[in-house]
Chains A and B, each alone.
Chain A
Amino acid sequence: QVQLVQSGAEVKKPGASVKVSCKAYGYTFTGYYLHWVRQAPGQGLEWMGWINPKSGVTKYAQKFQAWVTMTRDTSISTVYMELIRLRSDDTAVYYCARETRDVYNRPTFDIWGQGTLVTVSS
């Protein structure tokens, strides 16, 4: 079964860092880019960036460029998203999502992880 399974909820203090994992099942891990999207409580969806699991190449939204790092471990079909210097407004559910290409060769997100709640509080 094709699925993405994320790590569990985290509680962090301001200034700390967090690393969320996303493990792929049921498909060729290196065949699809993986994206990260976050959602603050009661708010909308915010795209953070992507990683190419085959090459490790990444692209981040400019907003996150200085403080997010996406990596992967192909031996265990897992990608990671690390955020540093956490602030209270980083409290959100973080999702990984698999990219597929549509008829125009544009990205769509067809498979999503279940989400990981990261709470930043002193």
Chain B
Amino acid sequence: DIQMTQSPSSLSASVGDRVTITCRASQSIISYLNWYQQKPGKAPKLLIYAASSLQSGVPSRFSGSGLGTDFTLTISSLQPEDFATYYCQQSYNSPYTFGQGTKVEIK
């Protein structure tokens, strides 16, 4: 199985900050990487697919990049509604494993 490792596990940031979350795969997954946002008590929501494509309706302050084994999710200017947990997921092959999550908290 492909292991997905996110860093950091949590971070504290202020409204307006630029935030970057990293996801590393245990082998090359080309660009087959998705990012999800999950708020407490809610289902995950798709933000980014194919490493860098923005899902319809998602604000443009979210962006993704990367290729091979190393990927990043960037929030250019953190907004109050962005405080949540973020997960990466590889879609290279099944099982479609997720990272352990990065919790973004208010500083």
Contacts and interface: CB of A to CB of B under 8 A. Distances in A.
Contacts of B89: 45, 47, 109
A121 interface: no
Interface in B39-97: 43-46, 49-50, 53, 55, 87, 89, 91-92, 94-97
Contacts, number: 66
A29 interface: no
Contacts of A108: 34, 46, 49-50, 55, 91
Contacts of B98: 44-47
A108 B88 CA distance: 11
A95 B95 CA distance: 16
A62 B101 CA distance: 22
B96 A107 contact: yes
A106 B92 contact: yes
State which size class the interface on B falls in: 20 to 34
Interface string B20-45: 00000000001110101010000111
A68 to B, nearest CB: 12
B96 A112 contact: no
A110 B87 CA distance: 14
